[in-house]
């Protein structure tokens, strides 16, 4: 099952692309709620390169690594990757008259409901 999320970012494409791929910026926006944060992020933005974001509950009760390998990069347009569990994600960046529409399509996992996954990923995207 594929899940789709999207958000309109009111900024120019260069700014959006840079913030999406800069580890320091990722630590600022990559959280589904105020009680979570990204403590560490690395990005090797090239096909075959990898990324990792360490996501932790602020109270220290839980954490996990969100990581994968880039499979396709079209600068300022498309980023595709395979997560460490084998699921695939495609994110597209499209300029509009109001900013940049960021759309991600990802394979659902089986542990959580599709609605919970959509809501969590959408919350992160809305922080962007």
The sheet with strand 99-107 has its strands ordered as: 2-9, 99-107, 88-96, 78-83, 63-74, 50-57, 36-43
39, two tokens:
């403590």
Domain segments of the chain as ranges = 2-127
Mean pLDDT in residue range 26-40: 89
Task: Please report which confidence band the pLDDT of residue 47 belongs to, taking 50, 70 and 90 as the band edges.
Answer: very high
Q: How far apart are CA 104 and CA 93, in angstroms?
A: 9
Indicate if the pLDDT at residue 30 is higher than 90: no
pLDDT (tens digit per residue) in 88-116: 999 999 999 999 999 999 998 888 888 98
The residue ranking higher by pLDDT, 34 or 43, is 43
pLDDT (tens digit per residue) in 68-79: 999 999 999 999
CATH architecture of 2-127: 2-Layer Sandwich (3.30)
Q: How far apart are CA 74 and CA 93, in angstroms?
A: 10
Most distant pair of Cα atoms in the chain: their distance = 43
Q: How far apart are CA 98 and CA 22, in angstroms?
A: 23
Over the chain, what is the mean pLDDT? 93
Supply the pTM of this predicted model.
0.89
Query: What size, in residues, is the chain?
Result: 128
Indicate if the pLDDT at residue 67 is higher than 90: yes
Q: Tell me which residue of 33, 16, 123 sits closest to 79, measured CA to CA.
A: 16
């Amino acid at each position: 099952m594929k899940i789709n999320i999207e958000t309109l970012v009111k900024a120019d494409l260069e700014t959006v692309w840079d913030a999406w791929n800069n580890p320091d910026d990722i630590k600022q926006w990559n959280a589904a709620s105020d009680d979570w944060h990204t403590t560490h992020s690395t990005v090797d933005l090239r096909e075959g390169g990898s990324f990792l974001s360490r996501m932790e509950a602020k109270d220290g009760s839980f954490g996990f690594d969100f990581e994968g390998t880039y499979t396709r990069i079209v600068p300022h347009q498309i980023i595709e990757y395979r997560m460490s569990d084998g699921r695939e994600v495609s994110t597209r960046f499209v300029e509009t008259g109001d900013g940049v529409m960021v759309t991600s399509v990802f394979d659902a996992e089986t542990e959580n409901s599709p609605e919970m996954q959509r809501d969590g990923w959408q919350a992160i995207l809305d922080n962007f």
